[in-house]
Structure 1
Amino acid sequence: MTKQFASAGDMTEKNISFTEIGRDLWAFTAEGDPNSGVIVGDDSVMIIEAQATPRLANKVIEKVRSVTDKPITHLVLTHYHAVRVLGASAYGAQTVVMSEKARSMVAERGQEDWESEFARFPRLFQGHESIPGLTWPTITFTDRMSVYLGKRRVDLMFLGRAHTAGDIVAYVPDENVMFTGDIVEYHSACYCGDGHFHDWPATLERIRSFNLGAIAPGRGDALVGTQMVNAALDSTRDFVKSTYSPVARVALRGGSLKEAWDACRAECDPKFKDYAIYEHCLPFNVARAYDEALDIDTPRIWTADRDAKMWADLQG
């Protein structure tokens, strides 16, 4: 077990990559830090994921300006987590899109999530003083909507619960490319603390059914080609199932959270211990899997106090 909580000790800046994954489609990645996506249309630009702060968002904008001078008019947020949304003000986008469910989660738990994630990821929240407040969408939808950047169509879709209850994807049909948010990861641990283990595999299979040419995942390298796409879908599915099953067995026989932690490590360490943010995610994943096994369908709200208590319990 790591001695420092979550990513509190990770203060090393990551190397940024900016990879074209289709015509005028770009993945902004940073060695396991949260990714962003860029869709360049005929007359404007859509950004997928805002980053944690305006400071980090400006790094995305710098890369955008290296390939186009078209205005950024749309910002799509795949879910409500603070590290994804609080940099939104930097883009000056006229339209900010979330699912209706994601917006409800901002209202329900957005402030608590911000305070919790601030303690988990101090490096990502450098420059937090410039965050003007919670990020709210200007448009929401339930199942699907299409946005036109000139003639280029972007389909925004809810394909099922996974990383959160409100995850959406952005699909660009003219290039058969999808921006999946944290539903899909590549050589990075899935954060399941607000997840839905039972639903997640089916949501992955709905993504697979598109037979995509490329994916920009939530974390990790851009995935270009069907072989990399399918490998990432497979490894994400394996991570989710390998986390849930041993924890559920412990929970259903009345074992403790610490016993569930040990069982999860025994299953997952041999396969995933080298993944980015693995140690960060593990305690939250175990806690949520334990709850879901006991039929707690709605993830309990994480607060800074709950984080600290959970960590102390597992240290004991």
Structure 2
Amino acid sequence: MSKQFASAGDMEEKQISFSEIGEGLWAFTAEGDPNTGVIIGDDSVMIVEAQATPRLARKVIEKVREVTDKPISHLVMTHYHAVRVLGASAYEAPTVIMGDAARAMVVERGQEDWDSEFQRFPRLFQGHEEIPGLTWPTTTFNDRMTVYLGNRRIDLMHLGRAHTAGDIVVHVPDENVMFTGDIVEYHSACYCGDGHLQDWPWTLEAIREYDLAAIAPGRGDALVGAEMVNAALDNTADFVRSTYQPAARVAARNGTLREAWDAVRAECDPKFADYAIYEHCLPFNVARAYDEARGIDTPRIWTAERDREMWELLQG
């Protein structure tokens, strides 16, 4: 292979930041690694995204304990990916929430996703021996659910398909702040391998309608202020369109996957080549864009074997 597989060569620890993005609202970020959100209510705390392992989850808990001693009562996962959910056991939260669609994906492809991401992100899965198994919610919902932490209202919503078919967002109305998971990224490549690329920009517009004061994105720095929020929404939409449209043009003329790869690179490299996990995501993004353009609505399941085959075909 011409490049080391996925993020196998990325073994350097990232610098953690813990930023307050609204009163009692915090974003745990780490230079393009998966983010976690923290919502402090009257009597307890909600965590948004669990991290990949209990080891990484404990780093989040350390930061939480610097700002509050309230118990962690709720853990919310915006979607099913292993790097987001497999650290759940460390929080010991009595209520674990996913959307119905995300839970269905754990049933359908949770173990395959774990095996796949384990080889893609070896650094994130250090200490994996502690993971007790797949993460299962105690509570699910379809389109919308409201949780109260005392008087603090938190709305959980499915606004549309994007990064996966089952993405949810977490909105805190009293501060007009949203935790978006991987629907929104900031100076990090969007992972589109399980995505719905034609729907994704419309879901971003549904987020924009909230005129948010701040967003905690899936990866990258917290987005504070309307200018930064809107720039990130625009940039994420541009990334998704720049991935899908060249692949769709190739598919429309019955071109090959390799031709789609060349077309997507020609469009995306000048704009996004310096983004976190860009080269990592590219083969999976192009494969999914090409499939979707050929009418395959449900993303094909990534397995550890399929990962390697696609990487060798496109990045090799």
TM range (shorter): over 0.9
Secondary structure at 2:264's aligned position in 1?
Answer: helix
Structure 2 unaligned segments of length 5 or more: list them. Answer: none
Are 1:2 and 1:279, in contact at CA under 8 Å, matched by a contact in 2?
no
Structure 1 position 80 matched with structure 2 position 67: no
Within-5 A mapping of 1:49-88: 49-88=49-88
- Partner Cα separation in structure 1 for residue 242 and residue 259 of structure 2: 15
Question: Which residues in structure 2 correspond to 1:189-204 (within 5 Å)?
Answer: 189-204=189-204
Summarize the alignment of residues 155-166 of structure 1 with structure 2, pairs less than 5 Å apart.
155-166=155-166
CA shift in 2, pair 1:37/1:252, >3 Å: same
Look up the match of 2:33.
33
> Quick one: distance in 2 between partners of 1:62 and 1:219?
20
Q: Is the 8 A contact 2:283 2:315 kept in 1?
A: no
Q: Which residue of 1 aligns with 2:107?
A: 107
Q: Give, in angstroms, the shift of residue 315 of structure 1.
A: 4.1
Give distance in 1, aligned partners of 2:13 and 2:258: 32
RMSD over aligned Cα atoms: 0.8
The reply to whether residue 215 of structure 1 matches residue 218 of structure 2 is no
**Distance in structure 2 (CA, Å) of the matches to 1:233 and 1:12:** 29
Over the matched positions of the two proteins, sequence identity in percent amounts to: 81
d(CA) in 2 for partners of 1:20, 1:58: 19
Rate the CA distance shift 1:101–1:237 in 2: closer, same or farther, 3 A. Answer: same
Match of 1:243 in 2: 243
Gaps of 5+ in 1: none
For each residue in 1:177-226, what CA deviation from the matched residue of structure 2 results, as whole angstroms up to 9, or x when unmatched?
A: 00000000000000000000110000000000000000000000000000
Query: Given the superposition, is the C-alpha separation of residues 154 and 2 from structure 1 closer, same or farther in structure 2, using an over 3 Å criterion?
Result: farther
Deviation at 1:308, TM superposition (A): 1.0
Aligned residue number for residue 285 of structure 2: 285
**Does residue 14 of structure 1 match 2:8?**
no
Deviation of 1:2 (Å): 5.5
Partner residue in 2 for 1:255: 255
- Divergent runs of 4+, >2 A: none
> Structure 2 CA distance, aligned partners of 1:135 and 1:195?
21
Normalising by structure 2, what TM-score? 0.99
Distance (whole Å) between structure 2 residues aligned to residue 268 and residue 293 of structure 1: 18
Residue by residue, what CA displacement relative to the aligned partner does 1:79-107 show, whole Å, maximum 9, x if unpaired? 00000000000000000000000000000
Q: Which residue of 1 aligns with 2:181?
A: 181
Q: Which AA in structure 2 matches 1:132?
A: P
Could you tell me how far apart the structure 2 residues matched to 1:59 and 1:17 are?
11
- Structure 1 partner of 2:142: 142
Equivalent in the alignment of 1:313: 313
2:313 and 2:252 map into 1 onto residues whose CA distance is 19
Query: 2:25 is matched by which residue type in structure 1?
Result: L
Q: Deviations over 1:258-277 (max 9, x none)?
A: 11111111000000001111
Distance 2:254 2:6 in 1: 27
**CA contact under 8 A between 2:2 and 2:315: conserved in structure 1?**
no
User: How far apart in 2 are the matches of 1:186 and 1:124?
Assistant: 19
Q: Is the 8 A contact 1:41 1:151 kept in 2?
A: yes
Q: Give 1:124's aligned residue.
A: 124
Q: TM-score, normalised by structure 1?
A: 0.99
| Structure 1 residue matching 2:306: 3-state secondary structure | helix
* Count of matched residue positions in the alignment of Structure 1 and Structure 2: 316
Q: What residue in structure 1 maps to residue 48 of structure 2?
A: 48
Q: Residue in 1 aligned with 2:4? A: 4
